[in-house]
Amino acid sequence: MGPFIPRLAFIQKAALAYPLGRELMSRLKAEDVEVSVYEKKLPLSTQKTFAERFFLSKRTMVVLVWKRRDFQTCRPSAHYQLPLVSGCPGLCEYCYLNTNLGRTPYVKVYVNVEDILDRAREYVDERRPATTVFEGSATSDPVAVEAWTGSLQRAIRFFAALDNARFRFVTKYTDIGGLLGIPHKGKTEVRFSINCNYALERFETGTPRLQNRLKAAREIARAGYPLGFLVGPIFVFEGWREEYTKLLHAVRDYVPDDIGVTIELITHRFTARSKKVIEQVYPGTQVPLDKEERRFKHGQFGYGKYVYPDNVMAEIREFFERQIGAVLPHARILYIV
């Protein structure tokens, strides 16, 4: 899979005051991307249908200045989100961003990375001597645009030099060449998001193949980064145990035995809002979205989500704890939600 080339780009005028803004302008033009500069408000989309707007937004890069504000909290994976990028060009039908980004899921990249990192430093100072953990992928897959921005590289170097702080991000993308060989002091944890073939084949488009993600994971481990896997969203379907067992075996085949990877397990969930988006954008989707089959759970940001009922959750938990213990005995499960 080649790097992401947007179809359109909107550049905020104020972003051109920053070197990264100017660099992106000339690189986007060199790739023949249609670039327009806007001042205050993003131009309205000319697409007629919801689905057309959605798909064009996924291929639209917005280059802008991050406005200073509080970071969002980010349980259970970290203390705070680190907002380097928002949005992702991938087309995973179940994507959790469908709830937050809704109708115009632009790929937004911020040019003033230093300001974002300065704000992160303030949070770390407030919480010292406790360690503060930042999550770089709460609203995006930042590796998808790393070849454009280099923001992850900068964040990794920044956290390597900052005491009482750690950084982590998760990705399905494999463009990690620029992250190998930079100083990280083991303070950035890179996780790869993976799933069984059943889910990859039905629900994911525009993301690298599993084998390529596992190869990238192996390179990250060789470069000395702490490595993790996020298995999700976990679906329950006819034969799910066999499929997820195969996935754990694939991880074992690629990742050196003796390194202690971490594993996060996230079962499939949806919100009323994401269900609406998914059904409009991917009519005929096979993502299970039947509210009757789920338990409603109140969520952190005021909207509830539909999760698997308790008996199914218990089966999932029991299965993964047992299988991971058997197939990946050095792995540590961080949480199952």
- The 125-164 contact track toward ligand SF4, x by CB under 6 A, reads ----------------x-----------------------
Report the site for ligand SF4 in 72-111 (rule: CB under 6 A).
88, 90, 92, 95, 97
Calpha distance 327→246 (Å, rounded): 10
Count of positions (residues) in the chain: 337
Q: Is the CB of 12 or the CB of 99 nearer to ligand SF4?
A: 99
Q: Is the CB of 86 or the CB of 132 nearer to ligand SF4?
A: 86
Task: Please state the closest distance from residue 321 (CB atom) to ligand SF4, in A.
Answer: 25
Q: How many residues make contact with ligand SF4 (CB under 6 A)?
A: 8
Calpha distance 154→21 (Å, rounded): 16
Task: Please state the closest distance from residue 88 (CB atom) to ligand SF4, in A.
Answer: 3
Calpha distance 173→184 (Å, rounded): 20
Task: Please state the closest distance from residue 30 (CB atom) to ligand SF4, in A.
Answer: 25
CA angle 122, 124, 130 (to 5 degrees): 150
Q: How far apart, in Å, are the Cα atoms of 37 and each of 42, 143, 169, 179?
A: 9, 25, 30, 30
Task: Please state the closest distance from residue 18 (CB atom) to ligand SF4, in A.
Answer: 25
Report the site for ligand SF4 in 15-74 (rule: CB under 6 A).
none
Q: Give the residue, chosen from 57, 86, 207, 271, that forms a contact with ligand SF4 under the rule CB under 6 A.
A: 207
Q: Is the CB of 123 or the CB of 206 nearer to ligand SF4?
A: 206
Task: Please state the closest distance from residue 183 (CB atom) to ligand SF4, in A.
Answer: 27
Q: Is the CB of 25 or the CB of 289 nearer to ligand SF4?
A: 289
Strand ranges (E), the chain: 8-12, 34-38, 60-64, 80-81, 85-86, 91-92, 107-110, 132-135, 165-171, 188-194, 204-205, 227-234, 262-267, 295-297, 305-307, 332-336
Task: Please state the closest distance from residue 116 (CB atom) to ligand SF4, in A.
Answer: 19
Secondary structure of 243-266 in HEC code, one letter for each residue:
HHHHHHHHHHHHCCCCCCCEEEEE
**Residue 172 binding ligand SF4, by CB under 6 A:** yes
Q: Which residues bind ligand SF4 (CB under 6 A)?
A: 88, 90, 92, 95, 97, 141, 172, 207
